[in-house]
Amino acid sequence: MVVATAMPHILPQHQGKAMSSAEVPKFVSPAEYLAAEELADTKSEYIDGWVRGMTGASVRHNQIKMNCAIALGAELKGQKCRPFDSDMRLRIGGSTQKKFYYPDLQVVCDSNAPTDVFQDSPVLIIEVLSPSTRRYDFDEKMNAYLQISSLRCYILLEQHQPIATIMRRVEDGFLRQQCDGIEETIDLPFLGCGLAMRDIYDGIEFTPTSLRELMSEYELTPTMPQSVTEK
């Protein structure tokens, strides 16, 4: 069952506690971040001047991610659009602000140069939700991803049940849908294919319950921007 809800507005950023002066991170330039990341043993994300370390993922998380990569890789074989897994960075931003993330999967039709260490123009982004990262994926990252002018669809996948939240580009913003059930397929007409939930969750043993994001958590407030601003 796919449930759609119109959502032409950008989502609110997650609000954390204010930091003391001793906790304020040192500003790092994009060039400094990229240079350090090439030498680092672990991955870090970059958000407008500060760096956030990434934790390791579970077997279940990686299995779902790889299932998506295998399925989309087979569908897109020989075509211009290609999937990239979480070893490939995604760069977002203009001249004054920059973000670098490692999406679980991104599909790119207009790739950067072969020597680049990031992509700029994905048409599809997929994140597999984890308890420690789901707030980032639904708030901070969604805000950033939906501002990518090339993006056609952002998919968030639950780990413990066959549930997908889909942000799909429409004429005046993005339409939020929910795909619920192993027999469903996520239609990706801009790629000329679909992504079957049975393929996404191949080999996954489901548990009785799963966390779900409530639409009420993203109701508009007067302080929110009134539309998604494209680059």
Backbone angles phi, psi at 220, to 5 degrees: -70, 145
Q: For the chain, how long is the longest CA-to-CA vector? A: 53
Per the CB < 8 A criterion, the answer to whether 155 and 107 are in contact is no
Please identify which residue in the block is written with the tokens 């969750």.
Answer: 201
Quick one: CA dihedral 231, 157, 9, 52, positive or negative?
A: negative
pLDDT of residue 57: 76
pLDDT block averages, 10 residues each, the chain of length 231: 46 41 70 90 88 82 96 95 95 84 97 95 96 86 94 96 95 93 97 97 85 51 32 31
Backbone angles phi, psi at 65, to 5 degrees: -60, -45
Q: How confident is the model over 133-185, as pLDDT tens digits?
A: 888 899 999 999 999 999 999 999 999 999 999 999 999 899 999 999 999 99
At the second CATH level, the architecture of 2-8+58-212 is Alpha-Beta Complex (3.90)
pLDDT of residue 131: 82
Exposure string over 109-146, b if 16+ CB within 10 A, otherwise e: beeeeeeeebbbbbbbbbbbbbeebbebbbbbbbbbbb
pLDDT of residue 219: 40
Burial class (CB in 10 A: 0-12, 13-18, 19+), 210: middle
pLDDT of residue 212: 66
pLDDT of residue 53: 83
Cα separation, 34 vs 222, whole angstroms: 37
* Whole-structure pTM value: 0.81
Give, in order, the Cα–Cα distances in Å from 30 to each of 50, 100, 115. Answer: 9, 9, 17
Per the CB < 8 A criterion, the answer to whether 26 and 89 are in contact is no
- Tokens encoding 145: 């991803």
